[in-house]
Homo-oligomer: A and B are copies of this chain.
Amino acid sequence: MTVSREVELEGHIIDSGMMQSCFGIIMDMGGSFSVQEFDIGRHKDEESYARMLVEADDEDQLQSIIHELHQHGVNPSDPKDATLVPAPDDQVVPHGFYSTTNHPTYIRYEGEWIEVEDMEMDCAVVVEDEDDEGGDAPRAYTKVLNAIEAGDMVVTDETGIKVQPPERPRDSGGAFGFMQGGVSSERPSESTIRKIANAIRETKKEGGKVLAVCGPALIHSGAREDLARLVREGYVDMLSAGNGFAVHDIERDIYGTSLGMDTESLDHPRHGHKHHIYTISEVIREGGIAEAVESGTIESGVMYECVDNDRPFVLAGSIRDDGPLPDTITDAVEAQNAIREQAHEADMVLMLSTLLHSVAVGNCLPSTTRVVCVDINPATVTQLLDRGSAQAVGMVTDIGTFVPILAEQLLEE
- A residues whose Cβ falls under 8 Å from a Cβ of B: 14-17, 19-20, 23-29, 32-35, 38, 40, 42-44, 64-65, 67-68, 89, 91-93, 97, 99, 122, 144-146, 170, 172, 178, 181, 185-193, 195, 217, 220-223, 258-259, 261, 263-267, 270-271, 274, 277-278, 280-281, 284-285, 316-324, 330-336, 339, 356-357, 359-360, 363, 376-379, 396-398, 400-402, 404-405
Cβ of A16: which chain B residues have Cβ within 8 Å of it? 20
CB-contact partner of A38 in B40, B93, B258, B323, under 8 A: B40
Q: Complex: how many Å from CA A236 to CA B181? A: 34
- B319 to A360, Cβ gap below 8 A? yes
CA distance A197 to B299 in the complex (A): 31
Could you write out 25 A-B pairs with CB less than 8 Å apart?
A: A14-B14, A14-B20, A26-B44, A33-B43, A64-B271, A67-B270, A89-B285, A145-B277, A146-B324, A185-B217, A185-B376, A186-B221, A186-B259, A189-B223, A192-B266, A317-B333, A318-B356, A321-B332, A324-B332, A330-B331, A330-B334, A331-B331, A332-B332, A378-B379, A396-B398
With a cutoff of 8 Å between Cβ atoms, the chain B residues found around residue A396 in the complex are: 376, 398
Assuming A91-B284, A186-B217, A270-B65, is B191 touching A263 (CB within 8 A)?
A: yes
User: Are A187 and B220 in contact, with the CB atoms below 8 A?
Assistant: yes
Contact partner, A33, options B44, B319, B324, Cβ 8 Å: B44
Query: Is B97's CB under 8 angstroms from A360's CB?
Result: no
Residues of B within 8 A of A145 (CB): 277, 280-281, 284, 322-323
With contact pairs A67-B270, A266-B195, A379-B377 given, residues A189 and B14 touching in the complex (Cβ less than 8 Å): no
* A284 neighbours in B (Cβ, 8 Å): 91-92, 145
Contact for A330 among B29, B270, B333, B377, CB less than 8 A: B333
**Which residues of B have CB within 8 Å of A35?**
40, 42
Report Cα–Cα, A19/B401, bound state, in Å: 39
Complex-state Cα separation, A258 to B188, whole angstroms: 9
A259 to chain B, nearest CB (A): 7
Copies of this chain held together in the complex:
4
- Of all A-B residue pairs in the complex, the 7 with the closest CB atoms, nearest first, are A189-B400, A188-B222, A401-B401, A317-B332, A397-B398, A319-B360, A188-B263
CB neighbours of A193 from chain B (8 A): 401
Closest B residue to A94 by CB, please name it: B281
Assembled-state Cα–Cα distance A265/B223 (Å):
26
Least Cβ–Cβ distance between A380 and chain B, in angstroms: 10
Cβ–Cβ contact B261 & A188, under 8 A: yes
Complex contacts, A68 vs chain B, CB 8 Å = 270-271
B221-A187 in contact (CB<8A)? yes
A333 touches B322 (CB 8 A): no
Measured between C-beta atoms, what is the minimum distance from A397 to chain B in Å?
4
Q: In the complex, which residue of chain B has the Cβ closest to the Cβ of A284?
A: B91
For A359, the chain B residues whose CB sits under 8 A away are: 320
Measured CA separation A14–B186 after assembly (Å)? 31
Interface centre among A16, A92, A190, A322 (most CB of B within 10 A): A190
CB distance from A149 to the nearest CB of B (A): 13
